[in-house]
C-alpha cells in the first residue's frame, strides 16, 4: 500500500520536474499540489510495492495537458522566439543559475519538452515515458529527436542562445 510518506518523499522530484516543465515557480508548485491531491484520492489504484514515480508523473502529465488546453496557467506556452531577449523572465530567479537552456526549453512545444525532461532530467526509460504520457514508444522517440534537435539549433556549445537563429 502506498503511504503518505512514500508520496511525500517524491515531492522534491515532482517540484524539479514541474519547475523545468513550467519555468515558473508558482505555477510549478500549483501543479505539484494538484498532483498530490489527485494522487491521494486515488492511492488505492497503485499496486503494493510499486514505484510511485511513473504514476505521479502520469497524473502530473494529465494536469499539465489540461492546463495547456485551458491556457490559463502557462505563460510559457505563449512565449514566442522574440521573448528570448530575456525581457519576460529573470534568468537568476530563485537564485538558480538558470542558463539560456531554461528559456530554450520554453520554446519547445509542451509535448516535446515533456519527453526531453522525463528522459533527460528524470531519467525515465523510453517505455516508461511512453506509459506516463500515454503514447506509443515511437512517438516518444520522435518527440525526443525533434526536441533535442530544436534545442541544439537554439543553443551554442556553451549553452548560450544563438541570436541569429533565435531572433528571426
In the complex with another protein, which residue's Cβ is closer, 61 or 74? Answer: 61
CB of 6 to another protein, least distance (A): 10
Using the contact rule CB under 8 A, the part of the chain among 33-41, 72-80, 81-89 near another protein is 33-41
Contact partners, residue 81, CB within 8 Å, separation at least 6: 107, 166, 167, 168
Which of 53, 58, 75, 165 binds another protein (CB under 8 A)? It is: 58
CA distances from 139 to 58, 63, 105, 135 (A): 16, 20, 19, 6
φ, ψ of residue 132 to 5 degrees: the values are: -60, -45
Q: To 10 degrees, the CA torsion angle through 146, 129, 14, 144?
A: -10
Q: Which of 45, 71, 78, 167 binds another protein (CB under 8 A)?
A: 45
- CB 113 to another protein: min, Å: 10
Residue 53, exposed/middle/buried by CB under 10 A (0-12, 13-18, 19+)?
Answer: middle
E strands, 31-168, in order: none
Half-sphere exposure of 65 (CA within 13 A, CB side): 12
Taking CB under 8 A as the rule, which mask of x and - marks residues 84-113 in contact with another protein? Answer: ----------xxxxxx-xx--x--------
Question: How many residues are listed for the chain in this entry?
Answer: 168
Alpha-carbon span 44 to 41, nearest angstrom: 8
Q: Which of 27, 105, 132 is nearest to 70 (CA)?
A: 27
Shortest reach from residue 78's CB to another protein, in Å = 20
Among 80, 87, 157, 164, binds another protein (CB under 8 A): 157
Binding pattern for the stretch 115-134 against another protein, x by CB under 8 A and - elsewhere: -xx-xxx-x-xx-------x
12 binds another protein (CB under 8 A): yes
Q: Toward another protein, which CB reaches closer, 38 or 75?
A: 38
- Binding interface with another protein (CB under 8 A): 4, 7-8, 11-13, 15-16, 19-20, 29, 32-33, 36-38, 40-43, 45, 55, 58-59, 61-63, 65-66, 69, 94-99, 101-102, 105, 116-117, 119-121, 123, 125-126, 134, 141, 144-145, 148, 151-152, 155, 157, 159
Amino acid at each position: 500500500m502506498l503511504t503518505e510518506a512514500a508520496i511525500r518523499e517524491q515531492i522534491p522530484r515532482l517540484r524539479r520536474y514541474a519547475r523545468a516543465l513550467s519555468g515558473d515557480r508558482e505555477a510549478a508548485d500549483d501543479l505539484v499540489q494538484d498532483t498530490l491531491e489527485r494522487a491521494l484520492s486515488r492511492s488505492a489504484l497503485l499496486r503494493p510495492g510499486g514505484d510511485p514515480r511513473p504514476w505521479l508523473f502520469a497524473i502530473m502529465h494529465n494536469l499539465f495537458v489540461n492546463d495547456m488546453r485551458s491556457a490559463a496557467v502557462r505563460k510559457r506556452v505563449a512565449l514566442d522566439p522574440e521573448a528570448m531577449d530575456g525581457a519576460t523572465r529573470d534568468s537568476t530567479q530563485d537564485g538558480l543559475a538558470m542558463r539560456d537552456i531554461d528559456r530554450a526549453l520554453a520554446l519547445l512545444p509542451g509535448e516535446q519538452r515533456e519527453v526531453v525532461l522525463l528522459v533527460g532530467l528524470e531519467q525515465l526509460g523510453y517505455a516508461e515515458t511512453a506509459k506516463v504520457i500515454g503514447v506509443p514508444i515511437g512517438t516518444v522517440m520522435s518527440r525526443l529527436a525533434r526536441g533535442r534537435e530544436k534545442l541544439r539549433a537554439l543553443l551554442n556549445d556553451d549553452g548560450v542562445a544563438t541570436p541569429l537563429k533565435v531572433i528571426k
